[in-house]
Amino acid sequence: MIDIPELALVALVGISGSGKSTFARDHFAPTQVLSSDYFRGLVADDENDQSASADAFDVLHYVAGKRLKAGRLTVVDATNLQSHARAGLVKVAREHDVLPVAIVLDVPEALAWERTQGRPDRTFGRQVLTRMHRDLRRSLGQLAREGFRKVHVLRGPDEIAGATFRYEKLFNDKRELTGPFDIIGDVHGCHAELVELLTTLGYAVTADNAVHPEGRTAVFVGDLVDRGPDSPGVLRLVMGMVKAGTALCVPGNHEQKLARKLNGRTVQLTHGLPETLAQLEEQTPEFVQDVRTFIDGLVSHYVLDDGRLVVAHAGLKEPYHGRASGRVRSFALYGGTTGETDEYGLPVRYPWARDYRGSAAVVYGHTPTPVPEWINNTICLDTGCVFGGKLTALRWPSRELVSVPAAKEYYAPARPLVPAEPRPDDSLDLADVTGRRHLDYGYGRTTVAAENAAAALEVMSRFALDPRTLVWLPPTMAPCSTASVEGYLEHPSTAFADMRGAGVTTVVCEEKHMGSRAVVRVSRDGSGDAIWTRTGRPFFDSARNDALLDRVRAAAVSAGVLDEGGLLLDTELLPWSAKAGGLIRERYASVGAAGRAALPAALSVVERASARGLDVAALHDRLALRSQEVSDFSDSYRIYAQPAEVTIAPFAVLAAPGVSHKDKDHGWHLGIADKLVEADRTLFTPTRRMVVDLSDPAAEQAATQWWLDLTAGGGEGMVVKPYAGLGATDAKGRLVQPGVKCRGREYLRIIYGPEYTRPEQLERLRQRNLGRKRGLALREHGLGLAALDRLAEGAALWRVHELVFAILAAESEPVDPRL
């Protein structure tokens, strides 16, 4: 029985004719076996061309490296009799933090010679085999020293034929454990706080165990000991829990050092170790012995929950997940360092989390930080309890943070507690926004594709406003589900059904102004005031912007709605032609002009032909219909091209420093909008609206009639929003669409073309797919809400900007522009 790790680099060692290939074939899948003969053939068309060996091994090592990187067991079928050949394999294994294993096939030289002679492609003489055999004898004693962690020697053909394998999982592989978990940050001897935290989390705590009634598992990120008042108490509890199976624990650097001390090694008595040693003095020798055994048995990190979660004391970069080597252990215990020290004499840590792009969440401790923050799907839970901070737990998979405050400062920190990566407040780094990025924004998670980020970077840096100003971008809005009402593509009935389906009971229907979405930011002192488009660009030249903003500010002051923090408004800027004048002229009016000139000319030709007695009645009817459609189409865009002053229709108040208004209902939002309208009726356009109780068919009927009246004259339609406000959620607590648009029948001509109302075209358009648009709308909405939350918290610029940037990047996704 041969035990090998599930992930290993297995080197077969044996002379020519020892049966390596047969052995490999019997025990491993063909793709797992890399044979030097095969690679010689690959590079030289001849498996026996020894002059090609160097190149063949290059390629073999390269392929082995790719397999190991991907975590696949790899077997190398070569003689591997020379130490330099084996050194190459050990190197590849180490590069990927995989254990090298040697399996030696030791057969009598005579048997090997007999087999070799039976193979027509082997032409070397007996003396070659003799030399090989001598090399093998010499090798046997060297393998372990060369770095092979396991060496199995199979002697004679019988032992070789009878061999069986057993695969061992790596100790860190606990993917089968799916929790739920409560991952607990650095305790440092704070026993009272630990008991309180466990109790808060719902555990029944005794001196040496804690059990959760729902079978939850606690996971300790290490640094249980040192500095704090009761390290033995913490150890007793955690050791008991691990023994009882109610907890897992990875070692911290403090456990490591304690174990070295207990094992009789010389260590510096600093960083709170003396306190622990003194406390252990009062414990029984048996307990101290248990502690030693416990720490020695700890595994550097765990991969949990089907690979979705990795716990390590100081974090772990992605290539090290599930690997075992000295440097993996060292990284897990101490983190990467840059080799420099800071002004407090402490090592400067390598910010691996900033570069982390893995899909597994990495939860760790080690570096005290005031507030745990997700950075690229990693989070540090050390909230400096022993320094008077908090003891924090992360609930998995819900990702909820639970913490209890420290009773006091037990130990003075060597350096003040600062966020893991202190950043100048208003400088932005390219790495904050570019490349493929994972974002966990609190309302969900998303991945920004690198190419979308590249497109957004160009817009953001060439055309958009200063990121300090640009704190929010409006999300795209999905249309309501496609209607089956005859003659209509969109209809209120499906808009209401959509909202009802999302668990919304009351909606507000707001008139959809046909203009350009505009975000307006004003403050009392005028600093940072701006008005910007959906893509973050200023609307007009700065003089015109300023004049407009002055009027908004004056109106807001006189309406009494501009308090200290300022006002961030979501609005529509009218008329549409103010920004889209070129589009209306070049696209819509051009098509209309061409149609209105071409169709009468064609009709006249057909009529003259008809007068000559030709049968063109059907053609005439089709042209006449087209002519009518073009006329309707022209009416649809003409109403947006009337000469008009610029006005603003506000409909939501987003946030101010210190407060996000996402929980206010739309009655509140529209109330502020109404006050602005009252204050300046020429600057602001009111938004007509109707609140509808979705359980009342009569109210729904009335709203439908209202929509029909609104759109009969070509009005764009309405937006149906959950009355509860921007932060409305469904029964499961997930965000619902902040609104769905329901566009008028005539208006849609300028979107779908003059002829879209023909039954066969409508039928085709009803196949439109809304899924992508809806997903995008919801994601952008969540990102925007998160940006408002962070703005309200006073978060660093880059934390707001990365979300705003992600909204812009999402806009690069290909979505049917007609939706």
Pick 452 or 493: Cβ nearer other proteins? 452
Pick 140 or 602: Cβ nearer other proteins? 602
Binding segment for other proteins (CB under 8 A), chosen from 80-88, 165-173, 286-294, 754-762, is 754-762
Site for other proteins in 43-62 (CB under 8 A): none
Binding segment for other proteins (CB under 8 A), chosen from 197-205, 312-320, 333-341, 616-624, is 616-624
x-or-dash string of contact with other proteins, 571-610, rule CB under 8 A: ------x---x--xxxxxxxxxxxx-xxx-xx-xxx-xx-
**How would you classify the pairing of strands 99-106 and 8-13?**
parallel
Site for other proteins in 287-316 (CB under 8 A): none
Pick 616 or 699: Cβ nearer other proteins? 616
Residue 524 interacts with other proteins (CB under 8 A): yes or no: no
Residue 531 interacts with other proteins (CB under 8 A): yes or no: no
Binder of other proteins out of 622, 681, 734, 766 (CB under 8 A): 622
Decide if 93 contacts 87 (C-beta within 8 A).
no
Residue 95 CB, shortest distance to other proteins, in Å, is 23
Pick 88 or 595: Cβ nearer other proteins? 595
Residue 617 interacts with other proteins (CB under 8 A): yes or no: no
Q: Return the exposure string of 19-39: e unless at least 16 CB atoms fall within 10 Å of the residue's CB, then b.
A: bbeebbeebbeeeebbbbbeb
Residue 75 CB, shortest distance to other proteins, in Å, is 35
Residue 629 CB, shortest distance to other proteins, in Å, is 10
Residue 639 interacts with other proteins (CB under 8 A): yes or no: no
Binder of other proteins out of 750, 783, 787, 810 (CB under 8 A): 750
- Residue 133 structure tokens: 């055999």
Report d(CA 368, CA 35) in Å as an integer: 50
Q: Please report, in angstroms and rounded to a whole number, the separation of the first and last CA atoms in the chain.
A: 64
Q: What is the DSSP letter of 314?
A: T
Residue 244 interacts with other proteins (CB under 8 A): yes or no: no
- Residue 750 structure tokens: 């300028």
Beta bridge partners of 210: 205
x-or-dash string of contact with other proteins, 444-483, rule CB under 8 A: ----------xx-xx-xxx--xx-----------------
Report d(CA 392, CA 703) in Å as an integer: 50
Q: How far is CA 484 from CA 97, 201, 481, 706, 741, in A?
A: 60, 51, 9, 19, 16
Residue 544 interacts with other proteins (CB under 8 A): yes or no: no
Residue 584 CB, shortest distance to other proteins, in Å, is 7
Q: Return the exposure string of 191-209: e unless at least 16 CB atoms fall within 10 Å of the residue's CB, then b.
A: bbbbbbbbeebebebeeeb
Site for other proteins in 391-450 (CB under 8 A): 427-434
Residue 336 interacts with other proteins (CB under 8 A): yes or no: no
Residue 174 CB-density burial (10 A; 0-12 exposed, 13-18 middle, 19+ buried):
buried
Nearest CA-CA partner of 192 in 230, 162, 225:
230
The number of residues that bind other proteins (CB under 8 A) is 68
Pick 310 or 453: Cβ nearer other proteins? 453
What amino acid is encoded at 82 in this protein? Q
Residue at token pair 């690959």: 42
Report d(CA 778, CA 500) in Å as an integer: 17
Report d(CA 721, CA 739) in Å as an integer: 4
Nearest CA-CA partner of 633 in 750, 728, 467:
750
Pick 53 or 610: Cβ nearer other proteins? 610
Q: Which residues bind other proteins (CB under 8 A)?
A: 427-434, 454-455, 457-458, 460-462, 465-466, 577, 581, 584-595, 597-599, 601-602, 604-606, 608-609, 612, 614-616, 619, 622-623, 626, 630, 634, 638, 641-643, 750-755, 761, 764, 814-818
